Structure 1
């Protein structure tokens, strides 16, 4: 298994599935930044620790698979399929994340994450069903 994919898989398995945020120190370079989770605001390891805690409180057990990966030079791109259920209403959660990571040696130094947050929050029960369709119609959620 290629080293970059192994690192990404460990990142999801240890940090997101198991909640082991201490593993971030082994997986991310000290000055690593993640973008895309909250728009353009970059996240460092401390921010990631808080984010992981918040997201894991909203979900049940998490399953992760990688239907597509592309490894080139210092970069790894992956479609990450995430399945769980809502801790709020028990409904199933099934979303995709597209992750592009740049590596500095064995550790990730840049991570760009494009998770479908709207779908995630709909399925968790924090947004109304079909929120995207409602928003596309010009209706404001209030």
Structure 2
């Protein structure tokens, strides 16, 4: 199985099917995943992140837009779609991952997802959050 096939199967198993037992089996060591700003994700952290995110949106699908395997590295640009749990609206946001493998397991992972867009779409942030912040506006609770 290629690294791409491996990770596409992992996205489906963990994020779509919510089989959280698939998390630990995919990493060489507990701190292999990171890159979410301010977060270094251990498998235990993923066990909390997946249900928290899934409570906010339903019917997730992860589609590979671009991918490149070179040596023991995989880079991916993905599109995540789903339905808002709050109001039933369609959601769509992108993410990028870079992963280094040892055998068929992830040894390092660097993730960056457009959570600002995601949180705008579910109403947790105002529309045009980045433009507001760039214009000097302060987001107030």
Tell me the TM-score range normalised by the shorter chain.
over 0.9
Determine helix, strand or coil for the equivalent of 1:120: helix
**Residue equivalent to 1:8:** 7
3-state SS, counterpart of residue 15 of structure 1: helix
Q: Which runs of 5+ in 1 are unaligned?
A: none
Q: Report if the CA contact (8 A) 1:31-1:109 is conserved.
A: no
Q: 1:78 aligns with which of 76, 79, 82?
A: 76
> After TM superposition, what 4+ stretches of structure 1 lie above 2 angstroms from structure 2?
30-33
1:135: how far off?
1.0
Q: CA deviation at 1:125?
A: 1.4
TM-score normalised by length of structure 2: 0.93
- Unmatched segments (≥5 aa) in structure 2: none
Structure 1 vs Structure 2 CA RMSD = 1.2
For the 8 Å contact 1:85–1:124, the answer to whether it is kept is no
Q: How does 1:28-107 map to 2 (within 5 A)?
A: 28-37=27-36, 39-107=37-105
Number of residues of Structure 1 aligned to a counterpart in Structure 2 = 140
| Secondary structure of the structure 2 residue equivalent to 1:31 | coil
- Structure 1 length-normalised TM: 0.93
CA contact (8 A) 2:78 2:96 kept: yes
